[in-house]
Structure 1
């Protein structure tokens, strides 16, 4: 049985971290990227499509409805498999047995046997199809409801502030951008047969009203992916929407139309065979054509919770003369690290970070 690595839960009150600092915890270590969010030198990327809104005033980072249509298709595949096997495949097998019956039973005898078998198969189809329908629909609805409980994290670049709603709460936490804590971490666990490592991009915000720190952790493929995701947020706040990835597309019935047109274009250019075209139509007919994409649209509409009036007001543009300015400390350190990047150093080189390196290599670096 696998023992999953735990997400880091740092003590951020007694000793505030700083960008470039490495801290160790029970199952691994973390490299801090903020407070005082410095450039990482990585290309900004919105991995996973979590940029729900990008404009000149704010950036919303949350969970899109990506793969919702596929989730609905999996549910339908389970139902249709049961129905096709019970109502088509097995009756055809029964029928084929009539022509090779070694006992030479009469047509009426065999016909009555087929009817009896069909009633049994229909009952199995009803129970099995119903089971998969309930199971699949429960999974689809549950994941949508979970997503709907949490509003996206909003980064206001004109005010240089961050707004976060704890899950299930309508009370926002607003924190200065330069005080937000962020890190990438490596956690190690065991499966009984080997060692596994997981990578996390984490953020933490302090709630002054409750004296509680809220931790947000998102799994990433590698520390480099975490750095690129954070850099996309950082470069939006420091330079604006023109320098970061745009708004992530959401799935809907338009996605179905785009996929069909892409398939047709591939066929016209010879990149898709007639068999491939036939398979595309067959699998979409079996999975109820546009229905999964309608489910994705419903998920998108339902889970996009409206912000309270106070945050809508907070999100309104302000005159450029009233925009908050970066601190002098951030400006000075940004110039210094960018000079290091120009000389070929990386973020980890600049801070002499040993994140994820074996102890032997850490000793060599030191």
Structure 2
């Protein structure tokens, strides 16, 4: 019975993951051209928008139940979808507001300052979460920190009933599945450019960046800065 339930669950999860991956709109950020390429769906004509026209915001929602409330957050990236002034919204779920803002900040820093400006990952050198190597790293860590009886009952038994490393193998296989690819035109667009041909940020962006950095030096964080900007009278 347990094997049947687990098999049905993993089959459903696998098929769902394959379906989602096949439908995901691929997005590519090109910091040398300061542009973003994307496709709405498989087979669609790729669209390229200026980096400085990309819109970023964080959506929040609150779920109320008989047990309390639960907040959820998501980074939303808006890309112009044609001449009709429509937007394609990409959504990245996040556990907290700060995490959602950090997701965007990582993209922004990469585009504005390059990959060397990104912070070193907090758990650098650790296996990627969800992989078989990560599973065994967690298993060894649990064994080192607990008694043998607790290790058997609190880890081995639970993980055995959950499929042991089968979910990790499925996750690794799904990760290797081919995504919706870009056509040749976008692959050509993605090729490196000589430094002298790199696009430059606009004067407005440079000025805004100076103002933000001055605010940071005064001890104002990003949330306070934009809160103050919203209360300023229009110029």
- Tell whether the structures are fold-level matches, with TM greater than 0.5: yes
Residue 77 of structure 2: SS of its match in structure 1? strand
Note the C-alpha offset of 1:212: 3.1
Residue 77 (structure 2) pairs with residue 154 (structure 1) = no
Cα displacement string for residues 257-299 of structure 1 (whole angstroms, at most 9, x for unaligned residues): 34324533664xx423212443444445555544332211221
Which of these residues, 140, 154, 159, is aligned with residue 264 of structure 1? 140
Contact 1:155-1:237 at 8 Å conserved across structures: yes
Q: 5 Å matches for 1:124-135?
A: 129=4, 133-135=7-9
Q: 5 Å matches for 1:230-245?
A: 230-244=104-118
Contact 2:42-2:180 at 8 Å conserved across structures: no
Which protein is bigger by CA-based radius of gyration?
A: 1
Which of these residues, 171, 175, 183, is aligned with residue 57 of structure 2? 183
Distance 1:142 1:287 in 2: 19
Distance 1:281 1:195 in 2: 34
Distance 1:325 1:354 in 2: 26
User: Which residue does 2:2 correspond to in 1?
Assistant: 79
Residue 163 of structure 1: SS of its match in structure 2? strand
Note the C-alpha offset of 1:158: 0.8
Note the C-alpha offset of 1:166: 1.6
Which of these residues, 96, 100, 104, is aligned with residue 222 of structure 1? 96
Note the C-alpha offset of 1:215: 1.9
Q: 5 Å matches for 1:156-305?
A: 156-187=30-61, 198-208=72-82, 212-244=86-118, 255-264=131-140, 267=143, 270-279=144-153, 280-302=155-177, 304-305=179-180
Structure ranking higher on relative contact order (CA contacts 8 Å, 6+ apart): 1
Q: Which consecutive unaligned segments of at least 5 residues does structure 2 have?
A: none
Note the C-alpha offset of 1:150: 0.9
Cα displacement string for residues 9-41 of structure 1 (whole angstroms, at most 9, x for unaligned residues): xxxxxxxxxxxxxxxxxxxxxxxxxxxxxxxxx
TM-score normalised over the length of structure 1: 0.52
Cα displacement string for residues 96-137 of structure 1 (whole angstroms, at most 9, x for unaligned residues): xxxxxxxxxxxxxxxxxxxxxxxxxxxxxxxxx2x6633541
Q: For the structure 1 residues 140 and 354, does the alpha-carbon distance in structure 2 shift closer, same or farther, using more than 3 Å as the test?
A: farther
Contact 2:80-2:86 at 8 Å conserved across structures: yes
- CA-atom RMSD in angstroms: 3.4
User: Which residue does 2:198 correspond to in 1?
Assistant: 323
Cα displacement string for residues 130-163 of structure 1 (whole angstroms, at most 9, x for unaligned residues): x663354123311332123214422111111112
Residues matched between the structures, number: 226
